[in-house]
Amino acid sequence: MINEKAYASMLKDDFNNFLIERERVIIAKIAQLLGIEDFRKESRLISPNTPFSNKKILWDTLRECNGYIHWVDKYFSKAGLETIIEATLDAKKVQEIKILMSSEKVDDKFRKLFMKFKTELGNQGIKCELRMITDSKLKSDIHDRWVLSENCAFNVASTDVIARGQYSEIKTTNNRPPFDNWWEQSVDIFN
- Residue-wise pLDDT for 119-162, tens only, equals 999 999 999 999 999 999 999 999 999 999 998 999 999 999 99
For residues 172 and 42, is the Cβ–Cβ distance under 8 A? yes
In terms of domains, do 54 and 18 share one? Answer: no
Instruction: Say how far apart CA 17 and CA 19 lie, in whole Å.
Output: 5
In terms of domains, do 74 and 87 share one? Answer: yes
- Residue-wise pLDDT for 24-46, tens only, equals 788 778 877 877 654 455 778 89
In terms of domains, do 69 and 151 share one? Answer: yes
In terms of domains, do 47 and 27 share one? Answer: no
Task: Provide the domain limits for residue 1.
Answer: 1-40
The tally of domains found in the chain comes to: 2
pTM: 0.79
In what side-by-side order are the strands of the sheet with 187-188?
43-46, 168-172, 153-156, 145-148, 67-72, 94-102, 127-133, 187-188
In three-state form (DSSP H/G/I as H, E/B as E, the rest C), the secondary structure along 27-59 is: HHHHHHHHCCCCCCCCEEEECCCCHHHHHHHHH
In terms of domains, do 141 and 68 share one? Answer: yes
